[in-house]
Amino acid sequence: MLTAFEFIDVEQLHKKNSALLSFHLSRASSDHILNRIGMGGPSWYLFARAPEFIIASSKQHTLLAPIATTLVALLMSACAIFAFSAMGIIRRVPFLKSALVVIAIICILRGLLGFTIVIKATQIDLWQLVASSVWLYVGCCFAIGFVSLHRFQSSTHQSV
């Protein structure tokens, strides 16, 4: 199965917007992992900290687990499309700026929520700590990407 790793031209992407490049690389890793989780069965869903009903679905071989995994992969792909569009790798997609802001806010809030859970927990949950760090980092990358795009477009309109 092909993943986003096969399509990365890092030199071209680095020239565009390095914050969103960082997101794309993390998204490619996530895409690769999600593809493997679906094939790995219940133990992989358990490892990925999927909700209990998804793990049960995988054990019972119902369609809920693969459909949910596919939906998550599609959402991550949509994020990648917005990142590519902001970097200028693909043509501009509708609602680009709004999407970058919404994605940034969701990711940053998820990252901060995870840190509050880690702080309030009696034990340190390394998985939650790493996941929250990644969510926060990706959210910051989207926020920086939005600001960079906004500044670039503002400077382009002023010079015309």
Mean pLDDT per block of 10 residues along the chain (160 residues) reads 43 53 56 59 82 92 88 87 87 94 96 86 82 93 90 70
Report DSSP letters for 92-155, one per residue.
PPTTHHHHHHHHHHHHHHHHHHHHHHHHHSSS--HHHHHHHHHHHHHHHHHHHHHHHHHHHHHH
What is the structure's pLDDT at 73? 83
Residues whose CB falls within 8 Å of the CB of residue 109, separated by 6 or more in sequence, listed in order: 139
Q: Rg of the chain's alpha carbons, rounded to an integer? A: 18
Q: How many residues does the chain have?
A: 160
What is the structure's pLDDT at 8? 44
Burial grade of 35 (CB within 10 A; 0-12, 13-18, 19 or more): middle
DSSP assigned state of 91: P
Instruction: Tell me the one-letter amino acid at 74.
Output: L
Burial 103-135 (b: 16+ CB within 10 A, else e): bbeebbebbeebbeebeeeeeeeeebbebbebb
CA distance 3 to 101: 26
Any idea where the domains of the chain sit in the sequence?
11-159
What is the structure's pLDDT at 160? 52
User: Which residue, chain included where needed, has tokens 């499309």?
Assistant: 81
What is the structure's pLDDT at 124? 78
